[in-house]
Amino acid sequence: MADSVDCDIRQSLDRISSRMRRDYSESLREINLYVGQDNLLARLWSGDGITQMQLCEHLKCEPPTVTNMVKCLEQNQFIYRMRDEHDARVMRIFLTEEGKALEEPVAAKWKQQQEKLLESVLPEERLLLRRLLKQMESNLC
Amino acid sequence: MADSVDCDIRQSLDRISSRMRRDYSESLREINLYVGQDNLLARLWSGDGITQMQLCEHLKCEPPTVTNMVKCLEQNQFIYRMRDEHDARVMRIFLTEEGKALEEPVAAKWKQQQEKLLESVLPEERLLLRRLLKQMESNLC
DNA sequence: CGCTTATATTTAGCCGACTAAATATATCAT
DNA sequence: ATGATATATTTAGTCGGCTAAATATAAGCG
């Protein structure tokens, strides 16, 4: 009985996230981005010139994932890479003007997605929901 | 203000799902499955002999995705395919004994993941959470 | 019957994510 | 200074997910 509720929660989370990813992916194609690249750019919008390792930590993914994303973003002229002057192992990532210009449209898409997701969820329910999600997040660590 | 709460919710969902997927993927490797294949098998456990199109609809993914998953599962001897006798276009998917045998260990892993995710979330909170998630799910359709 | 259209699946190719292994450079200790 | 170890990144290869296009078969219609 309790199990079926829990299972629904887990499956529901799964369905929501895959559906969000799918819709969001489609939406990002309008501005020539692939899903996930917006998060990488978001980190750079709050300060660029960081290393790939720092991006790994922020995105919570492995180095090869960052290598590939960065390569794709570089080919599309949204970022450029420069070798660190003091440590020749590290690459530092910078935004191009095109990359900076994506901040506004991406913010708009985030807002749009949030509003669709939380339509008809009351403010006090949102607060509670956030608390429960945070709790689940910490459970996974 | 309300925006920041909403944004947290969206991002929190993102972090939870990617973390779950990651942990779960690792866990499934113990029984020679890849993440997502358990859902495909779950559909077969409730009745096999269905077509790839039916799997598509159930998994809410595109035909090439099913083609690849089915190929992988077939190579690992968890399923086998037979061409429909009345319609030579369709392939029907069946469980092997090895595939059937995975039902128990997968159920155990689901339960384990659920318990970890919902640890210290009270029963009444779980009910509310489920209601809110269902609402969000329907918002996305 | 033959032609067109619809349906089921596959192929090719791309991106995000991963692991394992290779490469390049730094650093540390002897 | 040299050799061992640590760190940053890349390469190769896998799977889940996708789109676009190819293939194969069915079904409908004149």
Secondary structure (3-state) at B50:
strand
Q: What is the pLDDT of residue A141?
A: 87
- Between vectors from CA A13 to CA A25 and to CA B8, what angle results, nearest 5°? 70
**How far apart are alpha carbons A11 and A101 in whole angstroms?**
37
B130/A13 touch (CB, cutoff 8 Å), yes or no? no
Closest nucleotide to A40, Cα to C1': C16
Closest CA relative to residue B54, chosen from B35, B40, B36, B68: B40
Distance CA B48, CA B139 (A): 31
In-domain check, residue B130: no
Residues B25 and B40 in one domain: no
**Residue of A127, A5, A108, A52 whose CA lies nearest to B115:** A5
**Residue ranges of A 83-112 with Cβ closer than 8 A to chain B:** 110-111
Q: Which two tokens stand for residue B96?
A: 């092997």
**Domain assignment of residue B47, yes or no:** yes
Burial (0-12, 13-18, 19+ Cβ within 10 Å), B122? exposed
Pair (B20, B79) in one structural domain: no
Please state the pTM of the whole predicted model: 0.91
Does pLDDT of B4 surpass 90?
A: no
CB-based burial, B63-100: b 16+ in 10 Å, e otherwise: eebbeebbebbeeeebbeeeeeeeeeeeebbebbeebb
Q: How far is A49 from chain B (nearest CA, A)?
A: 24
CB-count burial class (<10 Å; 0-12, 13-18, 19+) for A10: buried
Q: Give yes or no for B6 touching A (CB within 8 A).
A: yes
Domain contains B73: yes
Please indicate, yes or no, whether residues B104 and B41 belong to a single structural domain of this protein: yes
pLDDT value at residue A2: 52
Residue whose pair of structure tokens reads 């339960």 in the numeric block = B111
- Whether residues B44 and B15 share a domain: the answer is no
Residue B119 in domain: no
The domain tally of chain B equals 2
Helix (H) or strand (E) holding B91, with range, is: strand B91-95
Q: What mean pLDDT, rounded, does chain A reach?
A: 94
Element (H, E) at B100: helix B97-101
B35 touches strand D (CB under 7 A): yes
A127 interfacial to chain B (CB closer than 8 Å): yes
pLDDT, tens digit (0-9, with 9 covering 90-100), for A68-121: 999 999 999 999 999 999 999 999 999 999 999 999 999 999 999 999 999 999
Q: Is the pLDDT of residue B36 over 80?
A: yes
User: Domain of B62?
Assistant: 33-108
Best residue in B117, B120, B127 to probe A by mutation, most A CBs within 10 Å?
B117
Give long-range contacts, CB 8 A cutoff, 24+ apart: B28-33. B28/B106, B28/B109, B31/B102, B31/B105, B31/B106, B31/B109, B32/B76, B33/B78, B33/B102, B33/B106
Both B65 and B4 in one domain: the answer is: no
Same domain, B1 and B60: no
Asked whether residue B91 is domain-assigned, the answer is yes
Whether B129 is in a domain gets the answer: no
Å separating the CA of residue A95 from the C1' of nucleotide D17:
28
B53 with B1, same domain?
Answer: no
CB-CB neighbours of B129 under 10 Å: 24
- What letter would DSSP give residue B29? G
pLDDT exceeding 70 applies to what percent of chain B? 95
Q: Which chain A residues contact residue B8 at CB under 8 A?
A: 130, 133-134
The pLDDT tens digits for B89-123 are 999 999 999 999 999 999 999 999 999 999 999 99
Tell whether B2 lies on the interface with A, counting CB pairs under 8 A: yes
What is the domain-level CATH number for residue B38? 1.10.10.10
In-domain check, residue B64: yes
Contact A12 B126 (CB under 8 A): no
